[in-house]
Every structure is written in structure tokens, then in C-alpha cells.
């Protein structure tokens, strides 16, 4: 199978089973409150074989999920930061359902000072990231 086939396959899996979001966490340090922002892409499923294939295509990691009640065991494939952006860029041409979410997520600036522990964001970048996070939330609730 060609690389294009597997990228299109990954896009279909992500479109149907995946999610993309921006985690914004404040942390307090000696110099005040900073932000630890992360772009996250993940897929959860009860069959880990699909997630292993995603990891082969795009890296990331797989972990098991806690079982609640009578639910079947499940696993999650997750990738963050620059790797999450790379995955979204690779699969974007084939996304149908999550295309607009991917477009918004791709505007998140990774590597800007303030994206990690102990770093402080410029107020304009902080506001921009809040808008990205809110837009992603809205897109997840819209039905086309």
C-alpha cells in the first residue's frame, strides 16, 4: 500500500473517532503565573490494532483507558504539540468532518515562549490562544 493510502486511512479514522483540542493550564512560579499550553490530537478505540497503525504512521503514544462499569477496555493514541500539528497537516486533505477543526488547530503557534513551564505569554498571544480554544469548542458542538 502507498503512503498516500495510509494517510487517507488515518484521516478517515481521525475524522470518525478522533478529537483535537487545546489544553490551557496555568502554573504558578516565582515570577508569577505562566501558561503551559498544549495542542492535543487523540483517537480512542476498543481495538488497539488500529491505534498501533496510527502510531506507525504518525508517532505518538498509546495508553490504556480506565474501565468504568460494564464498558469494554479501550485505548487511546495521543500526539501533542509539534507532532500533533504535523499529523493534522498530513491528513488535512482528506478530512471531511474535522477539517475546520484542523484548520483552527493549525493556527496554534507551538514553540512560542509561553508554551511551556515557567514561560510567560505576551497578552496578545494569550488572548489569541483563548480564541482558538473557544473556536474549537464551538466547532465540536456544530452539526453540519
Query: Domain residue spans in the chain?
Result: 3-141
pLDDT digits (tens, 9 = 90+) for 5-30: 999 999 999 999 999 988 877 665 55
Listed residue (44, 39, 20) closest to 99, CA to CA? 20
Q: Are 88 and 20 in contact (CB under 8 A)?
A: yes
- Work out the average pLDDT over 28-45: 75
* Residue 141: band (very low, low, confident or very high) from pLDDT cuts 50, 70, 90: confident
Cβ-proximal residues to 51 (8 Å cutoff; 6+ apart), any chain = 43, 45, 62, 75, 76, 77
pTM for this one?
A: 0.80
pLDDT digits (tens, 9 = 90+) for 49-85: 999 999 999 999 999 987 777 778 899 999 998 999 9
DSSP-based helix, strand, coil % in the chain, nearest 5: 45, 25, 30
- At residue 124, φ and ψ (nearest 5 deg) are -65, -40
Q: What H or E segment, with its residue span, contains residue 82? A: helix 81-91
Q: Other CB atoms closer than 10 Å to residue 125's CB: what's the count?
A: 17
Predicted local distance difference test score (pLDDT) of residue 114: 45
Enter the CATH code of domain 3-141: 3.10.28.10
Amino acid at each position: 500500500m502507498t503512503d498516500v493510502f495510509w494517510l487517507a486511512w488515518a484521516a478517515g479514522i481521525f475524522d470518525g473517532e478522533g478529537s483535537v483540542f487545546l489544553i490551557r493550564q496555568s502554573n504558578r512560579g516565582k515570577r508569577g503565573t505562566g501558561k503551559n499550553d498544549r495542542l492535543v490530537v487523540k483517537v480512542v478505540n476498543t481495538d488497539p490494532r488500529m491505534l498501533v497503525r496510527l502510531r506507525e504512521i504518525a508517532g505518538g503514544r498509546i495508553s490504556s483507558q480506565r474501565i468504568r462499569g460494564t464498558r469494554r477496555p479501550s485505548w487511546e493514541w495521543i500526539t501533542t504539540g509539534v507532532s500533533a500539528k504535523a499529523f493534522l497537516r498530513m491528513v488535512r486533505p482528506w478530512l471531511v468532518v474535522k477539517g475546520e477543526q484542523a484548520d483552527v488547530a493549525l493556527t496554534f503557534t507551538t514553540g512560542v515562549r509561553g508554551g511551556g513551564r515557567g514561560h510567560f505569554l505576551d497578552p496578545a498571544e494569550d488572548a489569541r490562544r483563548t480564541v482558538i480554544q473557544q473556536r474549537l469548542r464551538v466547532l465540536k458542538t456544530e452539526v453540519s
